[in-house]
A and B are shown apart, each in its own frame.
Chain A
């Protein structure tokens, strides 16, 4: 059990560029979640997958955001045409189910300049 891995740890990009983040969950976890956290706030839900099916999406996830989880393994989160307001920590988590709590990764810190 190597935990939840996120790549990259940090990303600095210019406004208008596209970025993609990767998350590798704990292998036996079938549920995967994406959250976003800004300074002074708690994590905000973006979306979650059970296996390869995307079961819920937040209204925060505008049409510039897309998430995939092909084959129910790793997941990617893409942000197109980044804006300064997208600057945040993007957290991925996985779990076996609600009763077990989530295991979070260390996050990807995005800075849009």
Chain B
């Protein structure tokens, strides 16, 4: 039972354009959402998060949007850079727990 789903295993975007990574969840008790980036042979690196009381959070080139009614969140990266090429994981947690439930990841490739 995959509670957090990333339905696109890969995405290819030209440098300078916008990258949009999507994530869907099924558990309405989730109230905190995070995005992580992972390079090969390294652990995931925290990128940005959003609480369920918000619908948008922005940090530099990264913006996360949350649509609670659709149980959907997305990560926008603009402008995309070659160094953004990595696997991106969406994760969620509920109240009273620190446990994160991760999606299966989307591999982003930014080409020149």
Contacts and interface: CB of A to CB of B under 8 A. Distances in A.
B69 to A, nearest CB: 23
B28 interface: no
Interface string A29-65: 0010100000011111100101000011010000000
A43 B89 contact: yes
Bin the interface of chain B by size. 20 to 34
B42 A102 contact: no
A10 to B, nearest CB: 10
A43 B38 CA distance: 11
B98 interface: yes
A40 B6 CA distance: 12
Interface in B85-106: 89, 91, 93, 97-105
Nearest to B103: A42
Contact of B43 (A48, A58, A93, A101): A93
Nearest to B95: A98
B100 A45 contact: yes
Interface residues of A, number: 27
Interface of A: 4, 31, 33, 40-45, 48, 50, 55-56, 58, 91, 93, 95, 97-99, 101-107
Interface of B: 4, 32, 34, 36, 41-46, 49, 89, 91, 93, 97-105
Given A103-B46, A104-B45, 14 more contacts: A31-B98, A40-B104, A42-B103, A45-B100, A45-B101, A48-B98, A56-B98, A91-B44, A95-B98, A97-B98, A102-B100, A104-B43, A106-B41, A106-B42
